[in-house]
């Protein structure tokens, strides 16, 4: 049976602090204007093209408040009702008074689910931090299943999702919230198929080419940097779904192909090549005098961006890996460039999910103390390695991605060992306290 937290004064003080911080964070995140495009209905659960992102963020937003109320010992029904009412009041305020905010039933549901999750964590914090060996073993198994599920969704998000439809080419168009490309497009093609500024004659062939990672090629005479995304070559289908985007954003070349991340309501992976477009253009013609020949392609294993001018050639290969899935759930679009900073964040993304699994796994091993210690350790380490192998190799390969690189393996091992080390340290401190009590 799960044990709720004790109503000790220090626990209640911590709960009050987390509750106040969580409440303040909710207000800061929800009561300011935004520039999102409006949605079609306010009665949806997963709303708009980025519904998956909104759902995840709405759940996370209310988790701290739920944890704080749980540590305070608030009654579950009262706490859940209060969080639901708070969410409803926020959505009502957004609907009537805050520009750029979309009030939906789905936001209220996801906020309440996040609050409920936090409430469970807060009310059973003692069990999560000091579980019995049997419960710890169950928690480690459950945590492993959740991690594998996250890895599966992450890997699938990088798989191309090219629909069967009528395709339309768009060359330097003025489109909705995009900035217009001010340069001149001299040539554009997908493999050997020219991109028209109208409907493709053979959409089926274009789909097959994109499914097999065909190269999108264009030559432009640029006009200096832009302030926002300016499409150079874009392919959309009859339902206005974006299939391919090759664009300028400031001094960057950005490129993306429709993947399953979009189908799931997450942000699509967008890749970038920095410091490409010049800062200034000739005032007399509004253009630079050097053309830029650009090539970009995407497969489940990598994105490749290449640019050539009269003076320099730039080429970048960016490996796709499940650990980059954090870019899909940010509240803003991230441009993947294969930098060391992205490598670090990806490592943290993997490690933090495996810390609790390592912690609970170490506590769970105490069930086998009466058995042969060395043999038990070998078995448990083998199980841990098998789990990491499935998540870092088998799952990515199932969706066509490359296996996780050594850096992801290192992060996974560090996270698992760190969790186990924390569990060992906690057990030692508890033993010392027990002996001095």
Please indicate, yes or no, whether residues 277 and 325 belong to a single structural domain of this protein: no
Q: pLDDT value at position 41? A: 65
Count of structural domains within the chain: 3
Please indicate, yes or no, whether residues 281 and 358 belong to a single structural domain of this protein: no
Q: pLDDT value at position 371? A: 59
* Per-position b or e across 381-403, b if 16+ CB within 10 A of its CB: eeebeebbeebbeebbeebebee
Token representation of residue 415: 């996270």
Please indicate, yes or no, whether residues 373 and 432 belong to a single structural domain of this protein: yes
Please identify, among 253, 287, 320, the residue that sits at the C-terminal boundary of a domain.
320
Please indicate, yes or no, whether residues 335 and 309 belong to a single structural domain of this protein: no
Please indicate, yes or no, whether residues 15 and 59 belong to a single structural domain of this protein: yes
Please indicate, yes or no, whether residues 180 and 100 belong to a single structural domain of this protein: no
> Distance between CA atoms of 265 and 410, rounded to whole angstroms?
30
Please identify, among 320, 338, 354, the residue that sits at the C-terminal boundary of a domain.
320
Please indicate, yes or no, whether residues 144 and 189 belong to a single structural domain of this protein: no
Average pLDDT across each block of 10 residues of the chain; the chain has 437 residues. List them in order: 60 94 94 67 79 94 96 94 96 84 89 97 94 94 97 96 96 91 95 96 96 96 91 96 96 96 95 88 70 94 93 91 95 94 96 96 81 72 93 96 95 96 90 71
Range of the domain at 199: 167-320
Please indicate, yes or no, whether residues 259 and 359 belong to a single structural domain of this protein: no
pTM confidence score: 0.90
Instruction: Say if CB 274 and CB 292 are below 8 A apart.
Output: no
Please indicate, yes or no, whether residues 292 and 281 belong to a single structural domain of this protein: yes
Q: pLDDT value at position 32? A: 81
The region, left, alpha or beta by phi > 0 then psi within -120 to 50, assigned to residue 128 is alpha
Please indicate, yes or no, whether residues 172 and 304 belong to a single structural domain of this protein: yes
């Amino acid at each position: 049976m799960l044990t709720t937290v004790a109503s000790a004064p220090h626990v209640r003080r911590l709960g009050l602090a987390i509750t106040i911080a969580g409440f303040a964070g909710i207000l800061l995140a929800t009561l300011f204007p935004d520039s999102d495009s409006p949605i079609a209905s306010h009665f949806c659960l997963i709303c708009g093209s980025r519904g998956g992102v909104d759902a995840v963020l709405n759940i996370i937003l209310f988790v701290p408040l739920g944890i704080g109320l749980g540590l305070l010992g608030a009654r579950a029904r009262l706490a859940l009702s209060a969080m639901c009412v708070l969410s409803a009041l926020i959505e009502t305020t957004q609907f009537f008074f805050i520009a750029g905010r979309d009030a939906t039933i789905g936001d209220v549901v996801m906020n309440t689910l996040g609050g409920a999750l936090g409430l469970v964590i807060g009310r059973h914090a003692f069990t999560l931090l000091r579980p019995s060996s049997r419960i710890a073993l169950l928690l480690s198994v459950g945590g492993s299943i959740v991690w594998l599920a996250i890895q599966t969704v992450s890997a699938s998000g990088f798989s191309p999702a090219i629909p069967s439809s009528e395709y339309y080419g768009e060359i330097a168009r003025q489109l909705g919230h995009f900035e217009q490309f001010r340069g001149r497009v001299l040539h554009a093609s997908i493999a050997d198929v020219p991109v028209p500024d109208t409907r493709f004659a053979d959409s089926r062939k274009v789909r097959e080419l994109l499914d097999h990672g065909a190269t999108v090629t264009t030559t432009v005479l640029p006009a200096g940097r832009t302030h926002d995304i300016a499409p150079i070559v874009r392919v959309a289908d009859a339902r206005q779904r974006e299939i391919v985007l090759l664009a300028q954003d400031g001094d960057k070349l950005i490129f993306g192909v429709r993947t399953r991340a979009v189908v799931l309501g997450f942000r699509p992976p967008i890749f970038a090549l920095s410091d490409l477009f010049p800062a200034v253009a000739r005032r007399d013609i509004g253009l630079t005098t050097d053309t830029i020949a650009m090539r970009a392609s995407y497969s489940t294993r990598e994105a490749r961006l290449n640019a050539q001018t009269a003076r320099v050639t730039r080429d970048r290969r960016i490996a796709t890996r499940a650990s980059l899935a954090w870019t899909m759930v940010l509240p803003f679009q991230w441009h993947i460039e294969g930098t060391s900073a992205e490598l670090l964040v990806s490592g943290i993304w993997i490690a933090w999910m495996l810390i609790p699994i390592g912690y609970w796994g170490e506590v769970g091993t105490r069930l086998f103390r009466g058995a042969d210690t060395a043999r038990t350790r070998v078995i448990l380490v083998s199980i841990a390695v098998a789990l990491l192998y499935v998540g870092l190799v088998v799952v990515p390969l199932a969706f066509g991605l490359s296996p996780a690189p050594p850096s992801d393996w290192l992060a996974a091992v560090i996270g698992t060992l760190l969790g186990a080390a924390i569990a060992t340290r906690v057990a030692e401190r508890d033993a010392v306290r027990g002996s001095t009590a």
